[in-house]
């Protein structure tokens, strides 16, 4: 099944030269090469395709519901999505779809399919090949992934790093699951498979009472205070320096400590694209650990935000504090 949500991929020029979404049910007319895959394809398109900058949790719920409702009759799913927030959506879906045994491959394009040099064709064709690939009757990649520029990445380990080149996504803390060349080489040892034989479970309750507090030299007490004191806030993703370090100024530590005492979850995520949070390695992170800041390990910000939203929507706060440190879909390395 191909699910078209919107984005650059499905744009064509209209009579006035403006890029507009085309009727995705006519995909075979735009890409007749798909017939050579000998797949039985079903296409579902959002009634109103959206720019991924406008994606909200309700769109994640829609995608999840489509997959859940059509799960039995399809061997795999390819989701066409704008690149700007694709890593957020792929992360969210990885947490929503529990006991997943079939591929859900997100892909898109940096250039519209109507452009001569578009990357859309290769991205879609290879994504479909991966989504349909089986070994001994089972899917080779039974997880939520992003395929882009000849690499298959775990969705909740990915982030967009490039806006002008075709290699738009990177996964600094986890190796590619496959690389596509003349043939597709799968890194089987890196692929996550569910050890549960239960039926697919769809979780759809999201609570967006989450904020990101990105630290920078010179950040003021007023800025930190305004975010912490946001009405209804339940969790903060604290984007720290290096391996989880933050200012040791007394006002900063006091504000974070007060927030935790009030019941807020504060999750420490590094601003670095690679590496991980090691609270206590330096004095500047030891203080965070002592006041109750939770280490996010090597999670991406995209995974941290979407995971918190889902956990807050599905579980009581006491459970969220425990589950945020556990791996739900291979998004964090547990030593």
Mean pLDDT of 31-38: 81
User: How confident is the model at residue 215, as a pLDDT?
Assistant: 97
Any idea where the domains of the chain sit in the sequence?
Answer: 2-202, 210-323
Q: What φ, ψ does residue 210 adopt, rounded to 5°?
A: -130, 145
Distance CA 49, CA 10 (A): 9
**DSSP bridge partners of 21:** 11
Confidence of residue 44 (pLDDT cuts 50, 70, 90): very high
Nearest of 229, 231, 242, 235 to residue 212 by alpha carbon: 235
**Residue 190 vs residues 95, 98, 186, 304: alpha-carbon distances, Å:** 18, 19, 9, 21
63-86 burial, b at 16+ Cβ within 10 Å, e below that, comes to: bbebbeeebeeeebbbbbbbbbbb
Residue 17 pLDDT > 90, yes or no? Answer: no
Candidate from 59-63, 146-150, 265-269, 285-289 with smallest mean pLDDT = 285-289
pLDDT (tens digit, 9 = 90+) per residue, 305-327?
999 999 999 999 999 999 999 99
**Class of CATH domain 210-323:** alpha beta
Mean pLDDT of 42-47: 90
Residue 233 pLDDT > 70, yes or no? Answer: yes
Question: Over the chain, what is the mean pLDDT?
Answer: 91
Catalytic residue list contains 126: no
**In sequence order, what are the residues at sequence separation of 6 or more whose Cβ sits closer than 8 angstroms to the Cβ of residue 217?**
none
User: How confident is the model at residue 193, as a pLDDT?
Assistant: 83
Residue 114 pLDDT > 70, yes or no? Answer: no
Residue 26 pLDDT > 70, yes or no? Answer: no
User: How confident is the model at residue 48, as a pLDDT?
Assistant: 87
Q: Which among 5, 8, 89, 107 is annotated as catalytic? A: 8
The two tokens of residue 70 are: 């059509």
User: How confident is the model at residue 37, as a pLDDT?
Assistant: 87
Which parts of the chain are beta strand (E)? 2-4, 11-13, 19-21, 43-45, 77-80, 97-98, 104-107, 134-135, 138-139, 144-148, 151-154, 159-160, 169-170, 178-180, 184-186, 201-202, 210-214, 235-240, 265-270, 294-295
pLDDT (tens digit, 9 = 90+) per residue, 45-98?
998 888 889 999 999 999 999 999 999 999 999 999 999 999 999 999 999 999
User: How confident is the model at residue 31, as a pLDDT?
Assistant: 74
**Class of CATH domain 2-202:** alpha beta
**pTM of the predicted model as reported, rounded to 2 decimal places:** 0.93
Confidence of residue 111 (pLDDT cuts 50, 70, 90): confident
pLDDT (tens digit, 9 = 90+) per residue, 281-296?
887 788 999 999 999 9
Residue 150 pLDDT > 90, yes or no? Answer: yes
User: How confident is the model at residue 206, as a pLDDT?
Assistant: 98
Distance CA 104, CA 29 (A): 24
- Fold agreement between 2-202 and 210-323: yes
Residue 146 pLDDT > 90, yes or no? Answer: yes
Distance CA 286, CA 142 (A): 39
Who has greater pLDDT, 21 or 330? Answer: 330
User: How confident is the model at residue 279, as a pLDDT?
Assistant: 86
SS3 249: coil
User: How confident is the model at residue 163, as a pLDDT?
Assistant: 81
Rg of the chain taking only CA atoms, in angstroms: 21
pLDDT (tens digit, 9 = 90+) per residue, 172-218?
999 999 999 999 999 999 998 877 677 999 999 999 999 999 999 99
Mean pLDDT of 261-278: 95
């Amino acid at each position: 099944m191909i699910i078209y949500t919107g984005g650059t991929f499905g744009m064509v020029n209209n009579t006035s030269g403006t890029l507009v979404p085309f009727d995705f049910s006519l995909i075979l007319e735009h890409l007749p090469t798909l017939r050579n895959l000998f797949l039985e394809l079903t296409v579902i398109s959002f009634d109103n395709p959206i720019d991924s900058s406008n994606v909200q949790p309700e769109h994640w719920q829609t995608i999840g519901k489509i997959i859940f409702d059509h799960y039995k009759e399809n061997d795999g799913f390819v989701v066409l999505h704008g690149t700007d927030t694709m890593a957020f959506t792929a992360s969210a879906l990885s947490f929503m779809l529990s006991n997943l045994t079939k591929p859900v491959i997100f892909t898109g394009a940096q250039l519209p399919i109507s452009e001569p040099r578009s990357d859309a064709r290769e991205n879609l064709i290879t994504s479909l090949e991966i989504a349909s690939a089986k070994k001994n009757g089972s899917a080779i990649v039974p997880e939520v992934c992003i395929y882009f520029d000849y690499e298959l990445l775990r969705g909740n380990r990915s982030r967009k790093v490039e806006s002008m080149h075709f290699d738009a996504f990177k996964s600094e803390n986890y190796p590619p699951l496959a690389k596509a060349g003349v043939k597709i080489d799968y890194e089987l040892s890196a692929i996550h498979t569910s050890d549960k034989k239960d039926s697919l479970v769809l979780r759809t309750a999201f609570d967006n009472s989450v904020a990101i507090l990105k630290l920078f030299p010179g950040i003021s007490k007023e800025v930190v205070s305004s975010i912490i004191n946001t009405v209804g806030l339940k969790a903060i993703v604290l984007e720290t320096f290096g391996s989880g370090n933050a200012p040791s100024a007394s006002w900063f530590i006091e504000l974070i400590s007060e927030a935790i005492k009030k019941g807020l979850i504060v999750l420490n995520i590094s601003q670095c694209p690679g590496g991980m949070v090691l609270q206590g390695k330096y004095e500047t992170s030891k203080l965070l650990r002592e006041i109750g800041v939770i280490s996010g390990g090597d999670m991406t910000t995209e995974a941290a935000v979407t995971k918190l939203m889902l956990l807050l929507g599905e579980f009581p706060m006491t459970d969220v504090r425990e589950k945020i440190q556990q791996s739900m879909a291979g998004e964090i390395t547990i030593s």
